[in-house]
Amino acid sequence: MSWTVQAWAVAATILLWWGATGLIASLIARPSRTYPGLLWGASVAALAALATLWWIRDDPTVPGAAIGFVAALVVWGWIEVTFLTGLITGPRRALPASVAPRGARHALAAFVAILWHELAIIVAIAAVAILGFGHVNQIGLGALLVLWVMRSSAKLNLFLGVRNLGEGFIPPHLRHLLDYLHRRRMNALWPFSAALGSALALWLGSQAMGDAPPWEATGYTMLATLAWLGVLEHFLMVLPLPPEALWRRVAAPRAAPDAIDQLGEQRP
């Protein structure tokens, strides 16, 4: 595969990642009365994306790989929208007063708070896997798996404690989730998360540089770039730079300082 095509794949992935994140943040920052229309639109788009993934599952071309990747991002966008609007989160909201802000009970409470969201991710990925089972173009499924792995790692690090909690992306109706997070400079899991994310990105990149046909190399390049962006998100958690700075004009308002100071803050 030519360097021109690889550069195009990298640039397109970065633009899609930045643009999709900014678009969702700007829509969530709007009044909640706009959410029904947003949910309908996201659901229709997700169904269209699933149909597209079924349609291109036997398309071993560079456009087919790119379309599969974009369709997967649309499906993931539906997952994010249903979560951030509060439609699909979990059966528990506020942290029970009887649960200390640390330990196994706290971890279980945090998981229950986003249980339906996690199940929605599994169902969406399973649906894409079933649609493409036994067919050649699996780039969409690969994109969803990379997003799932990197986002799960990010959630674990937010729970264990990082410098930046991304409060600017959390709408008011989900501020109770901040009760389950901790603020500290870094936690013991973070270096392993960054290292494993980097290893995943390097492996995907090596697949793109191997003997794969052009369409598959394009897909692997986009997946590798997506993994590197996930690693970047991990670094934004611990650097003295709020991640919202990349989308400052579209991110939702930050939580009030008094509320943030009550997050069970821990300093080493």
Each residue of 21-62: pLDDT tens digit? Answer: 999 999 999 999 999 999 999 999 999 999 999 999 999 999
CA gap 236, 245 in Å, rounded: 10
Each residue of 128-137: pLDDT tens digit? Answer: 999 999 999 9
Decide if pLDDT at 264 tops 60. no
- Give the 3-state DSSP-derived string for 184-210, with helices as H, strands as E and coil as C: CCCCCCHHHHHHHHHHHHHHHHHHHHC
Each residue of 188-227: pLDDT tens digit? Answer: 999 999 999 999 999 999 998 888 899 999 999 999 999 9
Sign of CA dihedral 154, 7, 79, 122: negative
Decide if pLDDT at 257 tops 80. no
Claim: this prediction has a pTM higher than 0.75: yes
Domain assignments of the chain as residue spans, ordered by start: 3-260
Q: Which residues contact 163 (CB under 8 A, 6 or more apart)?
A: 183, 184, 185, 186, 237, 238, 239, 240
Q: How far from the centroid of its chain's Cα atoms is residue 155's Cα?
A: 10
162: three-class secondary structure by DSSP: strand
**Both tokens of residue 14?**
């970065």
